[in-house]
Amino acid sequence: MGRHGITPPVVATWLLRVILPPDEIPYLLGDFREEYVEMFSRKGRMRAWLGYWGQVLSSLPLFVKDVLYWRVNMFLKNFITATRTALKHKTASFINLAGLSLGIACCLLILVFVRFETSFDDFHEHGDTVYRLTLELTDGENTRTMAYTMLPLGPALARDYPELEAVARLSYKNALFSMADRNFRQNLYYCDPDIFNILTLPFVEGNPATALNEPYSLVISAETARKFFEGSPALGQTISLNNTMPYTVTGVMADVPPNSHLDMDILASFASLANAERVKGEYWDRIGSDATYVRLPGGMDPAVLERQMPDFLRKYRDFEEGENMILHLQALGDIHFSRLDYELARTTDPNLVTAFSAIALFILLLACINFMNLTTACSMGRAKEVGLRKVAGARRSQLMGQFLTESMIMALAATALAVLVVLLALPYFNQLIGRELAFSPLRDLSLTLGLVSVIVAVGLGAGFYPAVILSAFRPVKVLQGKPWTAARGRVFRTSLVVFQFSIAVIFLVSTIVVYNQLDFLRSKDVGFPADEVLVCWLWEDPEPESVERFRRELQGHSAIRDASAAFGTPAGSSSASRTYKPEDRPQEQGLDMLTIFTDYHFLDTLGLQLVQGRNFSRDFATDADKAYIINETAARALGWEEPVGKRLFSDYRAEGTIIGVVRDFNFYSLRVSIEPMILTISPEWHNSMAIRVQPDRAADAIAFLESRWPEYAPRYPLDYHLISDEFRRHYTFEQRLGTFFVCSSILAISISCLGILGLISYTVARRTKEVGIRKTLGASVPGIVALLVRSYICWVLAAFVIASPLAWVLMDGWLSEFAYRTDIGWAPFVLAGATTLFIALATVIWRALRAALSNPTDTLRYE
């Protein structure tokens, strides 16, 4: 029979190669070919060709089914083995499962948080073409960026660039809303009607096209409507703002999702402000809390518009020497992570989100490494199993499959547990960080996909190394009882342990430093007794005489040391920045200073200390409107050693004389450094009252305040707070995140401790026989313990040396963000090192003692 030139159809053969079970390919291909040759010699080429194709096509589905059948069969077998193994080694499985699921749970929580933070403003239909204008202001050497823009900017933009789809101004205000019998103090935005063409704010009632056209119109959110009107229809109702103008509700919009950078609960028509002085005039110099938003036409490059802004601005405004303004277009999606000096929105530090993602990854990595460590360590006990399987003819791929299945099952179980933990912990977590995060893997496709990939990644990642190592055991060695002849496994595991200790050290150091810094901020002296000073808002348009009467009455009470009316109190929301020119350099660009308009009692009420000059006094007639007291920072900024007696020219008052210098005190928060500040007497501006209470009699003072309030402001609710509480509020988010950071580090530390515990247990167990022999040869218990402990001390020390510089760099970077920071010092390092060493030693000694105290006859009987 000729066998040359008789080859079966190539394509069909290739198909067979693809589909046949890989191990059987050579034999089966031979079988197919044999049939073909036989047919060829009996019935000719054509029939053989057809027959071959027929065979291939009719056999393919059967082969596919067969391959699948064996895959499933294998998986089930592995599954059963895995469950049996897990149940046999209960402690190890528990440590593994607990570590993994804690790790995954923490990772998931952070993931949910990160996803929320990165999802800001993603619900706006035209979001990708919406921009906010931000202003970069250069004043001599001083550059500030702000979300605030000049009010005439919006209309001018709309006029000069008709191609813009929409332009709207937002003006942030706080007002008192009065219904028939109830009052609420709330924030609101005055907006141009175009706002609804820029942001997506669906209406429940009313027409967005006309809702904000008329003056004195209000659009409120559904939740606000419920709060204001308790279920009765809101549309068409009137609400009085600040007890002056009645506004009409012209629309109710759906609640704005929590991931919006603006808390838009109440919108008022911009036209309502038409009579306000600053709106009437073309004030291109004034910058208040007003933002400008634009929507570009599709396809328009924001950079092109941005390049035209300098010329555009110059058309409307003259610039002085050294002064400059640059307008930027900030994409809507970037606002939440923007870091401007003056911000209107709720923003988050992007570094923080990065830091948390890193923590999440680290925790997951730690959990995986633990898993790898423990599984490989456990493999000692399973070496015999592997050896026997190999002798019985198991292929390496089968063994690897078995180990991977085991780790997959563990990962799956751990993930299921983790989901449960997250569901239970989320409410507390939300409370902790003050957000409203939601977690529902069933409804959320991307989250589910994320979960599945977590399972696969953890399963493969954590199971791969043990699978490779274990399946590589040589049966002969194993059955002799020495699987660990290769040193490479040991090196790898040692480095893993060192890595784990290092991570623990880094986390410990960071946790201690973060805690120290937060504690430092909490207890930092702000320059005056903030916990003794109450601030309450005054009523609308207060008469200076009645304010003074009220002030005197308060001061007269025994629980109150002093009281002072002012515009601008520490940690408050209103403050004014004014420009001052020094007498010796009047032609220069002036200095912007935070200006507090107050009365004769401000210094005494806040307990501020004078370092030069004197306090305001009624004995000097000029103090009433021509005297200034500045702080030390201002004195430095003005460049005067002896500022007392020097004159300043300001933009609101021709001339005034500095009469004193006050010691620096914190006005906003400790994150911001102290600014130049100036105090002056100006009763017509007062909008709040600062009240210094006797240390233990705050309750009496408050009771008195509440009893006297109605006489002065019958229609106005009393709104007061302690300055130290306000300061604290400034740090809340930071503090919460700090707490969260501390929590997750503790978790990371406990995960590594779990791993260290498991690992040590197994290394010690591995040396049981050695310990037994040493004991029979007369070794003492302390001697044996010391022997086992020695290597771990080395590892901890190595980890400490590696981790300390890293931790220092990390924490120094974090602290550099604060104006007031603690020194890192050496204490955190000592503490972290000692803790790690203690944990390691305690575990080793506990385990080693057990080994050393055990009876050699028990341990040696294993042979």
Partner 1 sequence: MKFLTRQEEMILLAVWQLGDNAYLVTIRQLLSRITGKKWSMGAAYVPLNRLFQKGYLQDRIGEPNARRGRNKIKYYRLTAQGIDALEELSAMNRALWQDFPATAEGEESV
Residue 564 vs residues 31, 596, 618: alpha-carbon distances, Å: 104, 12, 14
Nearest CB to partner 1, comparing residues 60 and 742: 60
CA 336 from chain centre, in angstroms, equals 11
Nearest CB to partner 1, comparing residues 38 and 655: 38
Nearest CB to partner 1, comparing residues 16 and 377: 16
Nearest CB to partner 1, comparing residues 28 and 164: 28
What minimum distance in Å lies between the beta carbon of 42 and partner 1? 12
Nearest CB to partner 1, comparing residues 26 and 298: 26
Q: Hey, which residues does 132 pair with through a beta bridge?
A: 293, 330
Say how far apart CA 398 and CA 640 lie, in whole Å: 83
Say how far apart CA 264 and CA 123 lie, in whole Å: 14
Nearest CB to partner 1, comparing residues 61 and 257: 61
What minimum distance in Å lies between the beta carbon of 408 and partner 1? 23
Angle 541-690-570 from CA coordinates, rounded to 5°: 100
Nearest CB to partner 1, comparing residues 52 and 501: 52
What minimum distance in Å lies between the beta carbon of 26 and partner 1? 5
What minimum distance in Å lies between the beta carbon of 58 and partner 1? 4
The residues near 798 (Cβ < 8 Å, ≥ 6 apart) are 498, 501
Nearest CB to partner 1, comparing residues 21 and 281: 21
Phi-psi region of 46 (alpha: psi -120 to 50; beta: other; left: phi over 0): alpha
What minimum distance in Å lies between the beta carbon of 67 and partner 1? 10
What minimum distance in Å lies between the beta carbon of 55 and partner 1? 5
Say how far apart CA 204 and CA 64 lie, in whole Å: 57
What one-letter code names the amino acid at 635? A
Give the count of alpha carbons within 13 A of 698, CB side only. 12
Nearest CB to partner 1, comparing residues 62 and 445: 62
3-state secondary structure of 304: helix
What minimum distance in Å lies between the beta carbon of 65 and partner 1? 7
Nearest CB to partner 1, comparing residues 19 and 179: 19
Residue 410 vs residues 101, 219, 570, 753: alpha-carbon distances, Å: 9, 54, 55, 20
Nearest CB to partner 1, comparing residues 51 and 258: 51
What minimum distance in Å lies between the beta carbon of 398 and partner 1? 12
Reference 768, options 841, 846, 856, 863; nearest CA is 856
- DSSP per residue over 366-402, as a string? HHHHHHHHHHHHHHHHHHHHHHHHHHTT--HHHHHHH
Q: Give the H/E segment covering residue 292.
A: strand 290-295
The residues near 113 (Cβ < 8 Å, ≥ 6 apart) are 356, 429, 433, 435, 437
What minimum distance in Å lies between the beta carbon of 57 and partner 1? 9
Ranges of H-type helices in 609-722: 623-626, 632-638, 698-712
- The residues that touch partner 1, with contacts defined as CB under 8 A, are 1, 3, 21, 24, 26-35, 37-38, 54-55, 58-63, 65-66, 70
Say how far apart CA 156 and CA 313 lie, in whole Å: 10
**What is the C-alpha radius of gyration for the chain, rounded to an integer number of angstroms?**
37
What minimum distance in Å lies between the beta carbon of 79 and partner 1? 18
What minimum distance in Å lies between the beta carbon of 510 and partner 1? 56
Phi-psi region of 8 (alpha: psi -120 to 50; beta: other; left: phi over 0): beta
